[in-house]
């Protein structure tokens, strides 16, 4: 019996607004606990929420980009449940009239184009953070700085059928949200989170099986591991004639598996009802149109522009525009120093390799566009060689120092002085008379050995073109 997985996803993205969704508290990341809270987000009696216009418009912008039908009259509802990170004992969300419905997004799975449907896109508020001290103990600590931050929920249809589909979906969605400039999507800071709904059914069947909803996935890699685990777990049970229950499961990073939550905690009865503290929001066609015109340049347009404006090969432009932060990084470099192809080469090799192995976003890299552009300028001005450039790059990465400072401090400047190089060349020639003779006898390959000796003597600082030229002159003159 062959089974196929049916996967749907819920994405939660914290919006890139300066303030929370219903109050003026700052959303800056990493502040001291409970310093970005006020009567509204603490849920103190009598405090009233007022909707952040920018947050609401960001969700409309996203819903438009996801090809959704925009709801004319939207309402906010209360979702009631008890948890210490939810001070009001209800979350303001949207249940009966979300901002957008029935959209779709195109994903590319190993070269094959597929469509994933969107059930809805809506706006709600984030909860606070619970800390469970490692030392054990019977207490949890609660920080409410995050409580009330604008959170956009994007609910897909169960249109994915493999871990690869799910990965392509997560990457495409993250990319789009970054291009739309509605969220920075930093998963390591919890600003983009995914939940997976997964069930198995016999191939060819239409009816959906009992699904597991999996929470606590803090990275795309974790989501993938979890999907692979669930496909195997559910297939094993079904193949052995077992039955699956609809349930909520948690990913356990330590033991690398999912575990069911207690049934009592699953008894969900959210008693949604319209929040009387907030009024309806009507999205008129003119307003929608205005927001549509504010959608920033998306990937395809940027790619075409990178080819036209900077004369980059399509291959380069495609990589540079693969994510919005990377494209921005490139354009900032270009502002400091005009050499698109060289900047592109350094980004595609050194920068991307380091970002990947550090799981870092371009704008968190200690090598800022200013650093990189300044270094490439030094190469173009022949202050350093490209080879030294690589050393400077790794030095910038660890120390964050500017390249001119690094070069000055460690004496890496390229030797351009012909007299200085001549002296070294003569010294190497006199120490390697045998090799020189063999070159004169026609063994051209031995040249490389001499060049290597000279570069070593100058610790790579001699200008290679000058070395070659001077060496040739000296050998044939003698």
Partner 1 sequence: MSLKRISPDDVRHVALLSRLRLAEEEIPPYTDVLNSILEYFAKLNELDTSSVSPTSHSIEMRNVFREDIPQPSLPVDKAIANAPEVEDNYFRVPKIIQEM
Binding-site ranges for partner 1 (CB under 8 A): 17-19, 23-26, 32-39, 42, 50-56, 75, 80, 82-84, 96, 130-132, 137-144, 250, 252, 259-262, 265, 267, 269, 271, 274, 276, 278-282
Helix axes 324-336, 369-380, angle to 10 degrees: 50
To partner 1, the closest distance from the beta carbon of 26 in angstroms equals: 5
To partner 1, the closest distance from the beta carbon of 122 in angstroms equals: 15
How many CB atoms within 10 Å of residue 446?
18
Nearer to partner 1, 96 or 315 (CB): 96
To partner 1, the closest distance from the beta carbon of 97 in angstroms equals: 8
Nearer to partner 1, 262 or 478 (CB): 262
Nearer to partner 1, 247 or 404 (CB): 247
Task: Return the SS3 of 121.
Answer: strand
* Dist CA 227 CA 164 (whole Å): 10
Nearer to partner 1, 45 or 411 (CB): 45
User: Do 158 and 124 form a contact (C-beta atoms < 8 A)?
Assistant: no
Q: 380: number of CA atoms within 13 Å, CB side?
A: 13
Q: Among candidates 120, 214, 205, which has minimal Cα distance to 163?
A: 214
To partner 1, the closest distance from the beta carbon of 137 in angstroms equals: 7
Nearer to partner 1, 53 or 459 (CB): 53
To partner 1, the closest distance from the beta carbon of 376 in angstroms equals: 37
User: Do 342 and 316 form a contact (C-beta atoms < 8 A)?
Assistant: no
To partner 1, the closest distance from the beta carbon of 84 in angstroms equals: 4
To partner 1, the closest distance from the beta carbon of 214 in angstroms equals: 13
Nearer to partner 1, 35 or 108 (CB): 35
Counting beta carbons within 10 angstroms of the beta carbon of residue 333, is it exposed (0 to 12), middle (13 to 18) or buried (19 or more)? buried
The order of strands in the sheet holding 77-80 is 90-93, 77-80, 273-274
To partner 1, the closest distance from the beta carbon of 208 in angstroms equals: 26
Q: Do the bridges between strand 150-156 and strand 3-14 make them parallel or antiparallel, or are there none, so unpaired?
A: antiparallel
* Dist CA 358 CA 472 (whole Å): 45
To partner 1, the closest distance from the beta carbon of 326 in angstroms equals: 26
Nearer to partner 1, 39 or 311 (CB): 39
* Dist CA 154 CA 121 (whole Å): 5
* 77 CB-near residues (< 8 Å, 6+ apart): 92, 93, 94, 95, 96, 272, 273, 274, 275
Q: Among candidates 252, 263, 202, 207, which has minimal Cα distance to 229?
A: 252
* Dist CA 353 CA 319 (whole Å): 13
CA angle 276, 279, 284 (to 5 degrees): 155
Nearer to partner 1, 90 or 194 (CB): 90
Nearer to partner 1, 83 or 315 (CB): 83
């Amino acid at each position: 019996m062959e089974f196929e997985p049916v996967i749907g996803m819920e994405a939660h993205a914290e919006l890139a607004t300066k303030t929370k969704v219903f109050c003026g508290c700052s959303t800056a990341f990493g502040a001291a606990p409970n310093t970005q809270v006020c009567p509204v987000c603490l849920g103190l009696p009598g405090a009233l929420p007022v909707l952040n216009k920018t947050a609401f418009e960001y969700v409309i912008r996203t819903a438009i980009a996801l090809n959704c039908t925009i709801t004319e009259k939207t309402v906010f509802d209360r979702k009631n449940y008890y948890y210490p990170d939810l001070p009001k004992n209800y979350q303001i969300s949207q249940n009966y009239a979300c901002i957008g419905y029935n959209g779709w997004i195109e994903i590319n799975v190993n070269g094959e184009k597929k469509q994933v449907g969107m059930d809805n896109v809506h706006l709600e508020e984030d909860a606070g953070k619970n800390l469970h001290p490692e030392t054990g103990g019977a207490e949890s600590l609660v920080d409410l700085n995050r409580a009330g931050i604008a959170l956009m929920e994007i609910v897909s249809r169960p249109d994915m059928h493999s871990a690869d589909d799910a990965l392509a979906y997560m990457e495409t969605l993250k990319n789009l949200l970054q291009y739309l400039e509605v969220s920075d999507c930093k998963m390591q800071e919890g600003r983009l989170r995914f939940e997976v709904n997964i069930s198995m059914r016999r191939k060819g069947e239409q009816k959906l099986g009992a699904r597991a909803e999996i929470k606590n996935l803090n990275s795309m890699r974790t989501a993938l591991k979890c999907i692979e685990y669930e496909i195997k777990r559910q297939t094993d049970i079904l193949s052995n004639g077992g039955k699956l229950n609809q349930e909520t499961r948690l990913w356990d990073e330590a033991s690398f598996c999912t575990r069911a939550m207690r049934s009592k905690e699953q008894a969900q009865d959210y008693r949604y009802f319209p929040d009387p503290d907030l009024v309806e929001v009507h999205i008129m066609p003119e307003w929608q149109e205005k927001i549509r015109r504010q959608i920033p340049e998306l990937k395809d347009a940027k790619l075409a522009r990178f080819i036209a404006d900077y004369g980059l090969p399509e291959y380069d432009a495609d990589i540079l525009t693969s994510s919005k932060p990377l494209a921005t990084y490139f354009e900032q470099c270009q502002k400091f120093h005009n050499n698109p192809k060289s900047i592109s080469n350094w980004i595609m090799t050194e920068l991307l390799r380091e970002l990947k192995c550090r799981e870092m976003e371009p704008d968190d890299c200690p090598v800022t566009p200013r650093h990189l552009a300044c270094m490439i300028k030094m190469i173009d001005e022949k202050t350093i060689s490209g080879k030294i450039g690589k050393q400077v790059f790794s030095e910038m990465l660890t120390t964050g120092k500017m390249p001119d400072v690094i070069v000055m401090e460690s004496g890496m400047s390229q030797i351009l002085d012909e007299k200085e190089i001549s002296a070294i060349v003569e010294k190497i020639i006199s120490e390697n008379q045998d090799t020189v003779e063999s070159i004169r006898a026609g063994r051209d390959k031995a040249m490389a050995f001499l060049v290597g000796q000279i570069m070593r003597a100058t610790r790579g600082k001699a200008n290679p073109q000058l070395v070659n030229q001077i060496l040739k002159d000296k050998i044939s003159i003698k």
